Amino acid sequence: MTTTTAKSDLFAKTSKRQKWRMFNDKLAAWVVSLGGMSVIVAITLIFFYLLMVVLPLFEGAEIKKIQSYALPASSATASVAAANNEITSHYIIDEQGKIGVRFTSTGKAISFYTETGEVISEKALVDSPVSSFTTAESSSGVVAYGLENGSAVVVKVGFDIKYAESGKIVTPKFEYILGEDPVDVFARGESIKHLALQNGEESLTLVSISDTNRLRLSVFEYEESMFDDEISFEQSDYEVEGINYTPKKVLLDSTQRMLFIFDDLGSVYFYDISDKDDVQLYESKSLIETGSKITDIKFAAGSFSLLIGYENGRVAQWFPVRDESNNYSLAFVRDFDLGASAVSNIASEYFRKGFISSNEKGELGVHHLTAHSTLLAQNIEAGKLTHLAISPRANYLLAESEDGKLHFWHITNEYPEISVYSLWDKVWYEGYSEPEYTWQSSSASNEFEPKFSLVPLSFGTLKAAFYAMLVAMPLAILGAIYTAYFMSPKLRQTVKPTIEIMEALPTVILGFLAGLWFAPFLELNMPGVFSVVILLPLMILLFAYIWHKLPHSLVGWVPDGWQPVLLLPVIILFTWTAIAVSPAIEAAFFGGNLPTWLNDEMGIGYDQRNAMVVGFAMGFAIIPTIFSIAEDAIFSVPKHLTTGSLALGATPWQTLTKVVILTASPGIFSAVMIGFGRAVGETMIVLMATGNTPVLDFSFFEGMRTFSANIAVEMPESEVGSTHYRVLFLAALILFLFTFLFNTMAEVVRQHLRSKYSSL
């Protein structure tokens, strides 16, 4: 009875223990599954968050009509018909899109509410007959009237903003930059037929062409008083000879150094007026490349690129390009099509490289130069448009139609700079001699052309990873093979943890050492470093050969698997010797300075923080990862495979190459892929040791910029929601997708290797 009770108690305890074990197993399986699913969900959420931030970059433009009304008319005008006789010269809209100013051919400025057309005020800017009109850079708000008596009036338009209980109150203001009295340009009797001007911080340049084809440059150097209550200026006039053609339009660039005069035959005369006493003609060129007449000519933002509208519906961009002789010539850059109807108007944005064009059928196009894209092409059903005006924020549009109406539109066009072309193709940027891949996200200039090419960053990411893997793979994999297969077990117990603990070193420390210590050291001792890299493997092989030839009685003193310890003094001594003789080698063969010799004799530039520095530093960082995984894979090869191979007569080397490495190949491949993934995503080392120059140069003497480093550097400075901000998220998304796809392909290859060699 006692025995039966004891057995029953033992069975109960065993059953309870089994149930508890099963519960723990199920709980562990559930927790592991939950953890795995959480990782998948987290990665999926990260992907969709990045996608959500990036997708707005590729949305097109939209326009929405707000109102149409009769032209804002002068109070002296009795009817709409009479108002139409007072021809519009130009429109300006305030930054809020609330107030517009209409400049007329009679010299009046009529201010009105853009949503209703209700006239706020009018001002007669001149009191003499007008013969010409022009504007300076759009962002300046400066306009000028040329008069029939040979004088000119220059006015700057601004808007005062006051705050009241009802909201913002915007009122226009007019400032006579050169004084209310017209400034004399030509003698009495000569009217100003064509006019151009640009206003700078210290001077204003006025280019005038009379009805007798006389060309005069008037330079006004002025100073404003401390209290802005009076303006003084000094006028200097310069006559330019040789105008033996009939001018149709004249434009002056924002630097007040380049002058463009267009004739009625479609040719442009491009002058250098930087020296007003010696004006030089750069070139004369016909812009009629397609046999189609020119219908409109405007500057793009920044007053550097010319936008030429043609009768065939095409708008072409031209800008000056400097040649090898340091002279400028006009180059055709790109064009845009708006249908087969003639282009009637072009209006440029104030600060971005975008513009709006219209044709005689009333079709409207929203374009961007850098992206080389037409974001919108739409017929606004208003007939032929005679004038276009864009607000400073490029979110409102005024369009005057031929039937005497003014149409007010709202524009949604947040990220026009971005297209597949601007991100991945060569782009011909303003001021560049040819198309290039360039990343330059910011500038002090308002008219700056953003350069968001992702090609240099992609190239830099792969370049950094390539050189890191070039250093890490041989050392890590060969070290793992020797440690797992040949090394003494006792020595392995010391070597493996030592290498693995290297992975605990913060990458910021490695980047700090690479940038501030190793980069200068490499520059000063480059011959010695090259000697170590090239000759040290040969020295190790030589030592191994000598060791192999030594008597067995001497070699037997060193147990099998402990030979690497003997290599330590050899490696240290050879490295010290190579570095010590480096200055002598440099003085004897490279003129005392190898970087300078490379630049002068070989034409190879040298950057102190370059791919070699990154290769060594980042290679050092990923060696423990590759080594540890590969060594575990090799060491885990079943012993019966190796002993069976040896028993069949294979040598240790044959067993290693034909059995061990093949069996461990999935693990070795995984080690390489994980190491490569870390190299691609590494931030601090490349941030501190590459120089962060986004250049396309595979030379290991040059630096680079990677996706991760670029995000780390520029994300804190980017405005939330801006184009720059979203492009950085796009770079992160590309990096995310690249590593995901690469790891997926690597897993496919690994599974293939596992199934292929699992039967060994």
pLDDT in tens, 123-142: 899 888 888 999 998 888 89
Cβ pair 207, 217 in contact under 8 A: yes
Length of the chain: 760
Per-residue model confidence (pLDDT) at position 169:
78
- Mean pLDDT to the nearest integer, 46-71: 90
* Confidence category of residue 48, pLDDT binned at 50, 70, 90: very high
Lowest mean pLDDT among 459-463, 558-562, 572-576, 583-587: 558-562
Per-residue model confidence (pLDDT) at position 78:
44
Residue (of 191, 208, 207) closest to 199 by Cα position: 207
CA atoms within 13 A on the CB side of 593: 7
Q: Is 632 helix (H, G, I), strand (E, B) or coil?
A: helix
Tally: H helices and E strands in the chain: 19, 31
Per-residue model confidence (pLDDT) at position 463:
92
How many angstroms separate the Cα of 577 from the Cα of each of 533, 573, 595, 745, 746?
A: 13, 6, 21, 45, 42
* Confidence category of residue 6, pLDDT binned at 50, 70, 90: low
CATH number (1.10.10.10, 1.20.210.10, 3.90.1570.10, 1.10.3720.10) of 457-523+607-757 reads 1.10.3720.10
Sheet harboring 247-252: ordered strands across? 247-252, 258-263, 267-272, 280-286
Would you tell me the crossing angle of helices 2-54 and 723-757 to the nearest 10 degrees?
140
> Does 532 have pLDDT greater than 50?
yes
Gap between the Cα atoms of 597 and 611, Å rounded: 19
For residue 132, give every residue at least 6 positions away whose Cβ sits within 8 Å of its Cβ, in sequence order, or none: 145, 146, 191, 192, 193, 194, 195
* Confidence category of residue 456, pLDDT binned at 50, 70, 90: very high
How many angstroms separate the Cα of 28 from the Cα of each of 17, 33, 37, 98, 403?
A: 16, 8, 14, 66, 79
**Phi, psi angle pair for 207, to nearest 5°:** -110, 120
> Does 276 have pLDDT greater than 90?
no
pLDDT in tens, 114-126: 998 889 888 899 8
pLDDT in tens, 308-333: 999 888 999 999 998 777 788 888 99
Q: Find the helix or strand (DSSP H, E) in which 231 lies.
A: strand 231-240
Q: Is 298 helix (H, G, I), strand (E, B) or coil?
A: strand
- Mean pLDDT to the nearest integer, 640-650: 85
- Give the mean pLDDT of the chain: 86
- Mean pLDDT to the nearest integer, 721-736: 91
- Mean pLDDT to the nearest integer, 622-628: 92
pLDDT in tens, 332-352: 999 998 887 889 999 999 988
Judged on CB neighbours under 10 Å (0-12, 13-18, 19+), 321 is middle
Q: Which fold has domain 63-74+291-453?
A: Methylamine Dehydrogenase; Chain H (2.130.10)
> Does 84 have pLDDT greater than 60?
no
How many angstroms separate the Cα of 584 from the Cα of each of 241, 369, 742?
A: 65, 55, 46
Domain ranges of the chain: 63-74+291-453, 125-286, 457-523+607-757
Per-residue model confidence (pLDDT) at position 160:
85
pLDDT in tens, 661-700: 888 888 888 889 888 988 888 888 888 888 888 888 888 8
Per-residue model confidence (pLDDT) at position 162:
80
> Does 559 have pLDDT greater than 80?
no
Gap between the Cα atoms of 263 and 409, Å rounded: 34
- Mean pLDDT to the nearest integer, 403-419: 90
- Mean pLDDT to the nearest integer, 182-202: 85
- Mean pLDDT to the nearest integer, 383-389: 88
**Percent of all residues in the chain with a pLDDT value above 90, rounded to a whole number:** 25
b/e map of 188-208 (b: 16 or more CB within 10 Å)?
eebbbbbbbbbbeeeebbbbb
- Mean pLDDT to the nearest integer, 735-744: 86
Q: Is 484 helix (H, G, I), strand (E, B) or coil?
A: helix
Q: Which two tokens stand for residue 172?
A: 């226009």
Cβ pair 362, 377 in contact under 8 A: no
Per-residue model confidence (pLDDT) at position 185:
86
What one-character-per-residue DSSP string does 318-379 give? EEEEE-TTS-EEEEEEEEEE--SSPEEEEEE-SSSSEEEEEETT-EEEEEETTTTEEEEEEE
pTM metric for this prediction = 0.85
Per-residue model confidence (pLDDT) at position 399:
92
Three state DSSP letters for 678-742? HHHHCCHHHHHHCECCCCCCCCCCCCECCHHHHHHHHHHHCCCCCHHHHHHHHHHHHHHHHHHHH
Per-residue model confidence (pLDDT) at position 318:
92
β-bridge mates for residue 153, sequence order: 145
Judged on CB neighbours under 10 Å (0-12, 13-18, 19+), 308 is buried
Three state DSSP letters for 199-218? ECCCEEEEEEEECCCCEEEE
* Confidence category of residue 225, pLDDT binned at 50, 70, 90: low
Residue with tokens 């290991």: 700
pLDDT in tens, 477-514: 999 998 888 888 888 888 888 888 888 888 888 888 88
For residue 700, give every residue at least 6 positions away whose Cβ sits within 8 Å of its Cβ, in sequence order, or none: 467, 610, 611, 612, 615
pLDDT in tens, 424-435: 999 999 888 889
